[in-house]
Structure 1
Amino acid sequence: MSEQSFKILVVGPSWVGDMVMAQSLFIALKQQNPGCLIDVLAPSWSLPLLQRMPQVRQAMAMPLGHGQFDVAVRIRIGRGLQAARYDQAIVLPNSWKSALIPFFAGIPKRTGYIGELRWGLLNDARKLDKSRLRMTVQRFVALAAVADGIPEYAFPRLSIASAQQRAVCEKFAVGSDSKILALCPGAEYGPAKRWPVEHFAEVARRMHARGWRVWLMGSDKDKAVTEHINRLANQVCRDFAGMTNLAEAVDLLSLAEVVVSNDSGLMHVAAALDKQLIALYGSSDPGFTPPLHDKAVILNLNLDCAPCFKRDCPLGHTRCLTGISPESVLAAIHG
């Protein structure tokens, strides 16, 4: 088969941040073989992200939700992909079930980490050395390499067309009369990753007083938090939480000058949009999943008890986040 038609199926991850970081793998594959064709099988919510990655030819929705096994459906999907005649599959999730579809699709080279004893399902099974590959993005990009070592990686860069920006501006009646600060106070993993609402509200009030527009971004799950912040901020914010789909949230974030975010999926989106970003870390580790942006400001107190990777603070105080002051965030904002 010619180099130009080398076809790769990537089984994508199930989290927004991980899907953004997966673009670094797609870039590496294109650098190695510019003519390769990359298709991604991933959760349906991720399709707007993948459609904004120029390296991806086709994004296909995975009909099974996170945690669903249903081996019969996986066999049917795999057999349905046989006609595509992929040359290689790269499986990013580490679960056993995620390797079933490439196996039943008969893809001759099936690459991924051993994970849940996936010998046989994967015939290019790699052993993950977590001490060598500390970062998630390194682990993804290493699957494109044929030799050991710590791989170099390019930063993700989402591509937003001006037509997409115009459409989202028209839908939400967004003007361009002042600078925009986007606040992303959600973190699906749990409270130990969430900066206090009082701190977000203080930043919102102070930036509004400087003449900035302040937007609150998030999903339905973040609505109670964003409403609380807006009440504390005397309703100076435009609250988009639960009002947009992911595509619209991405396109709205592309209009912001500055983004302040917990360690969350939207933090990684903001980094991939090349925004001035202030990233707030508490229970998680910025050495493991940092924002992939060379100008991002990471605020992290480096307490002895952190990172604990817990959903709730095991000591009951969450000082790793409450100790990051609004003044430190305001000082990091330029413009």
Structure 2
Amino acid sequence: MGDLVPGVERIAVLRANALGDFIFVLPALDALRAAYPKAEIVLLGAPWHANLLRDRPGPVDRVLVVPPAPGIRVADPGEADGQVDGFLAEARAERFDLALQLHGGGANSNPLVTGVGARVTAGLRAEDAPPLDHWIRYVYYQHEVLRYLEVVALVGAGATTLVPRFAVTDADRNEARAVLGDPDRPRVALHPGASDTRRRWPAHRFAEVARDLTGQGYDVLITGTPAERDVVERVVTEADAPVRPLIGALSLGALAACYADCAVVVSNDTGPLHLAAAVGTPTVGVYWVGNLINSGSLVRARHRPIVSWTVHCPVCGADCTRGLYPHREGTGECPHRDSFVADVPVAEVLEAARELLP
């Protein structure tokens, strides 16, 4: 492990991507807080981070919103690109002592972190990325939690936990209660969406799980974002049971409170699954084997990953053992987005859920 950086009063941490990505970095942020207890930790994040983390207990003191830029983050609707120079000038005025790149391989993010002007920089470096003061090689197959703990260890921040923890506030609970009411029986949540359709277990299989759990007397919620409306509605229709759809009805904080009150959450490998685990709820996650290596829960007392061992594209047979994400359109690789987890049996998911349910 590296040495602590002397005289650190303010730390910048770049992590401006999606919900699950933020959950994975929480143990590294906890390690920074323990190593530098008097320093201000500023997340260089997206607008949704600012909304979610405002007045929330945790290792992040403040969010500085990074503008949309290639390899950093995609613009929200109505948000303008091209504000990076102004952002960097604002960041340099903060006089950061330490800037950490916990965002990815670094081709785009390392120049941004260097541009913040901190005394010391540290982070990840892929082959096409410029170096930082302290860096470790970005290797695709590594668990995300451990990846970022290795980075903060470069500046003397040893791990204090391997398990991400996310705080639920009274405001979150009040919002969730206003939408859901008080529970009159144990609740279960199913999340059938995922931004990448290759990570989606078929809707009809979620419907079978919903029908079974409803028949056992559970209050079954089907959660989803507005972009996932179609798949949520398919699950509700095919379940043919009194389940409750929740499509964009809760803020992220209230969704965390909703999951915290559930006996189990069954989900694809996507942000809500990792949020549920971070608030202490037992989970059953459906994973493609490659993603299990990078993002599966590191513990098994309360979490059950159910794995598909599919390694070839179901459409064209392309070998995807190098990971799904390097195979993008325009790269000469497999362009198909059919599910890689469709073969996971319903019986296996239900057996795991029953093990965890009270």
With the length of structure 2 as denominator, give the TM-score of the two structures.
Answer: 0.80
Counterpart residue number, 1:7: 10
* 2:40 aligned with 1:37: yes
2:255 to 249, 257, 260: 249
Matched letter for residue 107 of structure 1:
A
Query: Is 1:112 aligned with 2:119?
Result: no
Letter of the structure 1 residue corresponding to residue 121 of structure 2: R
Matches within 5 A, 1:259-298: 259-282=265-288, 284-294=290-300, 295-298=302-305
1:11 and 1:40 in contact (8 A); partners too: yes
How far off its partner does 1:102 sit? 3.5
The answer as to whether partners of 2:41 and 2:62 remain within 8 angstroms in 1 is yes
**Deviation at residue 26 of structure 1 after TM alignment:** 0.4
Amino acid at match of 1:261: S
Of the three residues 90, 96, 109, the one matched with 2:107 is 96
Q: Aligned residue for 1:218?
A: 224
3-state secondary structure, aligned to 1:26: helix
How far has the Cα of 1:15 moved from its partner? Answer: 1.9
Inter-partner Cα distance in structure 1 for 2:102 and 2:311: 32
Structure 1 counterpart of 2:87, one-letter code: I
Question: Structure 2 vs 1, CA of residues 103 and 248 (structure 1 numbering), >3 Å: closer, same or farther?
Answer: same
d(CA) in 2 for partners of 1:315, 1:86? 43
Gapped runs of 5+ residues in structure 1?
none
Of stretches 3-12 and 156-165 in structure 1, the one that deviates more from structure 2 is 3-12
- Give, in whole Å, the separation in 1 of the partners of 2:351 and 2:204: 14
Displacement of 1:179? 0.8
Farther-moved stretch of structure 1 (287-296 vs 172-181): 287-296
CA contact (8 A) 2:172 2:253 kept: no
Specify the alignment match of 2:169 in structure 1.
161
Aligned to 2:351: 328
> For the structure 1 residues 283 and 301, does the alpha-carbon distance in structure 2 shift closer, same or farther, using more than 3 Å as the test?
closer
Residue 60 (structure 1) aligned with residue 67 (structure 2): no
Please report how far the alpha carbon of residue 323 of structure 1 lies from its aligned counterpart in structure 2 after TM superposition: 3.5
1:276, distance to aligned residue in structure 2 (A):
1.0
SS at match of 1:17: helix
Q: Is the alpha carbon distance of 1:314 and 1:151 closer, same or farther for their aligned partners in structure 2, counting shifts above 3 Å? A: farther
- Distance in 1, matches of 2:62 and 2:24, equals 18
Which residue identity does 2:346 align to in structure 1?
A: S
8 Å CA contact 1:3, 1:35 repeated in 2: no
What CA distance in whole angstroms lies between the structure 2 residues aligned with 1:25 and 1:288? Answer: 16
Q: CA deviation at 1:287?
A: 1.9
Q: Which amino acid aligns with 1:334?
A: L
Is 174-183 or 102-111 further displaced after alignment? Answer: 102-111
Q: Is the 2:28–2:159 contact (alpha carbons within 8 Å) kept by the matching residues of 1? A: no
**SS at structure 2 position matched to 1:257:** strand
**Aligned-partner residue type, residue 343 of structure 2:** T
SS in 1 for 2:204: helix
Identity %: 21
Give 1:85's aligned residue.
95
Q: Would the alpha carbon gap of residues 315 and 78 (structure 1) be closer, same or farther in structure 2, given more than 3 Å must change?
A: closer
Q: Residue by residue, what CA displacement relative to the aligned partner does 1:160-218 show, whole Å, maximum 9, x if unpaired?
A: 12342023212x1422211110001111112x211121121111112112221111112
In 1, the alpha carbon distance for the partners of 2:81 and 2:236 equals 46
Distance 1:139 1:252 in 2: 29
Distance (Å, rounded) in 1 between the aligned partners of 2:63 and 2:205: 38
> Matched residues in 1 for 2:136 and 2:280: separation?
32
Instruction: Evaluate the alpha carbon distance shift between residue 7 and residue 318 of structure 1 in structure 2; reply closer, same or farther with a 3 A threshold.
Output: closer
1:117 Cα offset (Å): 4.1
Further displaced range: 233-242 or 49-58: 49-58
Equivalent residue in structure 2 for 1:141, among 149, 170, 180: 149
* TM-score (ref. length: structure 1): 0.85
The one-letter code matched in structure 1 to 2:96 is: Y
What SS does the corresponding residue of 1:35 show, helix, strand or coil? coil
Give the whole-Å Cα distance in 1 for the aligned partners of 2:203 and 2:89.
49
Q: Which is worse superposed, 77-86 or 4-13?
A: 4-13
In 1, distance between residues paired with 2:356 and 2:8? 46
Partner of 1:123: 133
Are 2:269 and 2:285, in contact at CA under 8 Å, matched by a contact in 1? Answer: yes
Shift of 1:58: 0.6
Contact in 1 for aligned 2:100/2:123 (Cα 8 Å): yes
CA contact (8 A) 1:141 1:153 kept: no
- In 1, distance between residues paired with 2:273 and 2:259? 10
Q: Give the equivalent residue in structure 1 for 2:234.
A: 228
RMSD across aligned positions (CA): 3.2
The CA deviation at 1:265 is 0.8
In the other structure, the counterpart of 1:74 is 84
Q: Aligned partners of 1:252 and 1:223: how far apart in 2?
A: 19
